[in-house]
Amino acid sequence: MGRLIKVVCIAGVLSLSLVACAKKTGSTNEAPVISASSEITQQNTKTSGAGKFALGPHKGLLGVRQYYFPCASTLMPERYQAAAKAQAKYLKRHSNAKLVLQGYAASGGSHGYNVGVAQQRAESIADFLLATGVNASSVIVVSYGAEKSTVYSGKVNTKACRVDLVYT
């Protein structure tokens, strides 16, 4: 438990560093930020459009592959705990499975802020999975920020405040 707390603290400090140091750019083709936490495998995984949820289990709660967050929060919503427990059970039974947690944010904030918030959302799900006994090598955290979000129009797109769960 002490090691998990240490990892969460390190991840939080690194996320805040990313937010503080990131520059706002006009480009939407920037590479995603990958978790700097040593407890989570660092790997850049590309997915494509409609087929991004094609791999992995789909029965029951395992089919819940998008976790929507209140846009002002980075804590995993309670309504997804049962689905996350089902994912954890699957990952523990299938040691070769890899789950990519892709964090997103609504446009409107600076690039650094959006990347940091999306990172923290994905890490909150990773922390939950690791706390249930999932092997850290089975979980990959990626933050896309708002780069795949629609252009900010003055209204917050609540569908952009999410984490996608993608098996590779």
Instruction: Pick the more confident residue, 39 or 105.
Output: 105
Contacts (Cβ under 8 Å, ≥6 apart) of 33: 18, 115, 119, 142, 143, 145
Name the residue with tokens 């003055």.
154
Does residue 104 have a pLDDT over 70?
yes
Confidence (pLDDT) at 76: 96
Q: In angstroms, rounded to a whole number, what is the distance separating the alpha carbons of residues 109 and 73?
A: 14
Domain 2-22+31-167 has CATH 3.50.50.60: no
For 117-149, how does the pLDDT look when each residue is reduced to its tens digit (9 = 90+)?
999 999 999 999 999 999 999 999 999 988 765
Does residue 7 have a pLDDT over 50?
no
For 87, how many CA atoms within 13 A lie in the half-sphere containing its CB? 29
Confidence (pLDDT) at 49: 41
Q: Find out whether 90 and 62 touch, Cβ atoms under 8 Å.
A: yes
Token pair of 156 as six digits: 């917050």
Domain boundaries, the chain: 2-22+31-167
Sort residue 105 into left (φ over 0), alpha (ψ -120 to 50) or beta.
beta
Instruction: Pick the more confident residue, 143 or 19.
Output: 143
For 85-101, how does the pLDDT look when each residue is reduced to its tens digit (9 = 90+)?
999 999 999 999 999 99
Q: Find out whether 144 and 107 touch, Cβ atoms under 8 Å.
A: no
